[in-house]
Amino acid sequence: MKNADELCSLIQEIIDEAGGHAEEEVDPSTPLLISGLVDSLTIMRIVARVEQRIGISFPETEVVAANFRTPTALWDAIEAVKGAARSEGAVS
């Protein structure tokens, strides 16, 4: 996963798998929490899938509502986690 658009596709896929349905396609500014598109279980599915695809561990301290408001907010959090992992030598 290289950008917020790819993250949007992943989120859309997870919502569809969970039986949910977005009125419109998920884009970087889609309000995930306010719209009800994601709930706590969906958030955990997103975290697990992101960890699997990117090869990072998403700290529990980053699994907060502010990071799941929109795909852009989540992508910013992912980039921050990746940057921290790089500086610790855990991700290349």
Q: What is the pTM of this model?
A: 0.87
Q: What is the DSSP letter of 69?
A: S
Q: Name residues whose C-beta falls within 8 Å of residue 84's C-beta, 6 or more positions apart in sequence.
A: none
Q: Name residues whose C-beta falls within 8 Å of residue 68's C-beta, 6 or more positions apart in sequence.
A: 32, 33, 38, 43, 46, 74
Statement: residue 30 has pLDDT above 90: yes
Phi, psi of 11 (to 5 degrees): -60, -45
Determine the pLDDT at residue 87. 80
Task: Convert the pLDDT of each residue in 47-75 to its tens digit.
Answer: 999 999 998 899 999 999 999 999 999 99
pLDDT (mean) for 71-82: 96
